Structure 1
Amino acid sequence: MSKNDQDLLARCAAIGTSTWADAMDTLGIAGVVQGIARRGGQGRIAGFAATARHVWGGLGDFDRADFAVGRLVAATGPGRVLMVDAGGTCISTFGGIASMAASKRQATAVVIDGACRDVDEIQATGLWLASRHVTPLTGKTRLRLQAMGEPVTIGGVQVAEGDLVVGDDTGLVVVPRARLQEVLAAAQEALEVDERVERGIRDGLSFAEAAAAANYIPASGGGRA
């Protein structure tokens, strides 16, 4: 990863998902991931998406080699967020061993629109991982890796390879790479407004007074809350 990308991700990681969501609202971009919760890791992450898609079936529908979890692990690394579209199925894509391997590769995060298992082992590795479900049900012979590097859908959001992914205790957002600079500027502006409101409240203003002074909520009652 280039020094420019490292610096860019550091700037992005300084901004919470709520602020990113507000910025995308102002620009008409749908980027808030729904229904996927963090299972391991802590704090805020920011990285560029590496995409993968699993198709699912019943026990024995696929060869064990079709699971191809090694290819998923190989796609992880610093500054990379593995985004796995498993169609929301309650079959595990990632477990404790895969999480240990991803952690050894210094993966930024793994996000699965599907399931993981071995949550205690995932947490022990320190890997930042989020999934729709948790289940002991293995993906071996039930899941087949269909594609990597192609557009996927995660929590109702379209994700392309290289899009920005930010995750924290509040949730996950995806910012299209082609609009990243535009959204980042809007997010930084929104953050500055929030900080002005906070300073006003610390200085003794009421919420309404501080919000009006910072143009957080216009006097007419509209605007972002």
Structure 2
Amino acid sequence: MHDVRQSGQDLAARLAETYTGVIYDVMRDAGREVRTLPSTLRPLRPDARLAGPVFTVEGAIDESLEVHRTMLEWTGLLQEAPGGHVLVCQPNDSTIAHMGELSAETLQLRGVRGYVVDGGCRDTDMVRELGFPVWRRYDTPADIRGRWAPTALGEPIRIGEVTVTTGDYLLADQDGVVLIPGEDVAEVVAAAEAAMQQENLVRAAIRDGTPPREAYLRHGKF
């Protein structure tokens, strides 16, 4: 019997061996819609790379909540986050951190691949040391206690002009974050792998002294 979970893990591993530029190119060249998240989302570590299926989170500021309640809601979210996935969060907020060291360590130990948030992070030095991949918009010491709580898990969210859906696949690197519909990921990854092989031929030709125009005409890639 075909193991769907194993297939997803294999696709995530193969996707991680590509890069956002080539994914963008092959989707554009195939006439597909290419969804890239805003360039304001940056990795904590410049060398970080993140790939896998998406699980979405949405939340909102609610200062009527007691501290205890916000912490119960947040730890419940950490508990519900599915292993093998990338959490993508729309916090609808620009004032506090929506990730920190204890949360990052919890998610990492539970097998979550990484976290992308259209919001803030704190404890950044410690999160970097953990090696847990985080893309965020800003850093701040302010936390969620008594101020913020998740409102929906697994539902479509909007980040910038882009809709992000649970089941999408995501690839993030220093250049940015690109999304692939789950039903298209196998085809897109295969096309990216083929494109990277063509790029290797062009690279070898350039290093051998081939003029760039000739290299492009010979291999149809540059």
- TM-score if structure 2 supplies the norm length? 0.87
Partner of 1:143: 148
Compute the displacement of 1:77 (Å). Answer: 5.3
Q: Deviations over 1:174-213 (max 9, x none)?
A: 1111222332243234323322211211222122221221
- Provide the rounded CA distance (Å) in 2 between the counterparts of 1:168 and 1:129: 10
Change (3 A) 1:41 1:102: farther
- Would you say 1:33 and 2:21 are equivalent positions? no
Residues paired across the two proteins, number:
215
Residues 121 and 139 in structure 2, CA contact (< 8 A), matched pair in contact too: yes
Q: Deviations over 1:69-100 (max 9, x none)?
A: 21332244542101111125232111111112
Residues 69 and 94 in structure 1, CA contact (< 8 A), matched pair in contact too: no
Compute the displacement of 1:155 (Å). Answer: 4.5
Compute the displacement of 1:23 (Å). Answer: 1.8
Partner of 2:191: 186
Residues 80 and 107 in structure 1, CA contact (< 8 A), matched pair in contact too: yes
Compute the displacement of 1:2 (Å). Answer: 2.2
Partner of 1:3: 6
- Provide the rounded CA distance (Å) in 2 between the counterparts of 1:88 and 1:208: 48
Partner of 1:82: 87
Aligned equivalent of 2:171, options 143, 158, 166? 166
Residues 92 and 117 in structure 1, CA contact (< 8 A), matched pair in contact too: yes
Aligned equivalent of 1:128, options 127, 133, 137? 133
Residues 20 and 171 in structure 2, CA contact (< 8 A), matched pair in contact too: yes
Q: Secondary structure at the match of 1:91?
A: coil
Aligned-pair identity (%): 27
Compute the displacement of 1:33 (Å). Answer: 1.3
Q: Deviations over 1:47-75 (max 9, x none)?
A: 11111101125xx3333324522133224
Residues 90 and 134 in structure 1, CA contact (< 8 A), matched pair in contact too: no
- Provide the rounded CA distance (Å) in 1 between the counterparts of 2:34 and 2:49: 20
Q: Which moved more, 1:144-153 or 1:199-208?
A: 199-208
Q: Secondary structure at the match of 2:127?
A: helix
Structure 2 stretches lacking a partner, 5+ long: none
- Would you say 1:106 and 2:111 are equivalent positions? yes
Q: Deviations over 1:153-173 (max 9, x none)?
A: 234321111210111222211
Partner of 2:201: 196
Aligned equivalent of 1:69, options 66, 69, 74? 74
Q: Secondary structure at the match of 1:2?
A: helix
Structure 1 stretches lacking a partner, 5+ long: 218-225
Compute the displacement of 1:28 (Å). Answer: 3.1
Change (3 A) 1:204 1:85: same
Aligned equivalent of 1:115, options 107, 115, 120? 120
Let me know the Cα RMSD of the aligned residues: 2.1
- Provide the rounded CA distance (Å) in 2 between the counterparts of 1:215 and 1:46: 28
- Provide the rounded CA distance (Å) in 2 between the counterparts of 1:140 and 1:41: 29
- Provide the rounded CA distance (Å) in 2 between the counterparts of 1:176 and 1:7: 16
Q: Which moved more, 1:70-79 or 1:104-113?
A: 70-79
Partner of 2:102: 97
- Provide the rounded CA distance (Å) in 1 between the counterparts of 2:134 and 2:34: 22
Aligned equivalent of 1:153, options 148, 151, 158? 158
Change (3 A) 1:131 1:155: farther
- Provide the rounded CA distance (Å) in 2 between the counterparts of 1:210 and 1:5: 36
Partner of 1:222: none
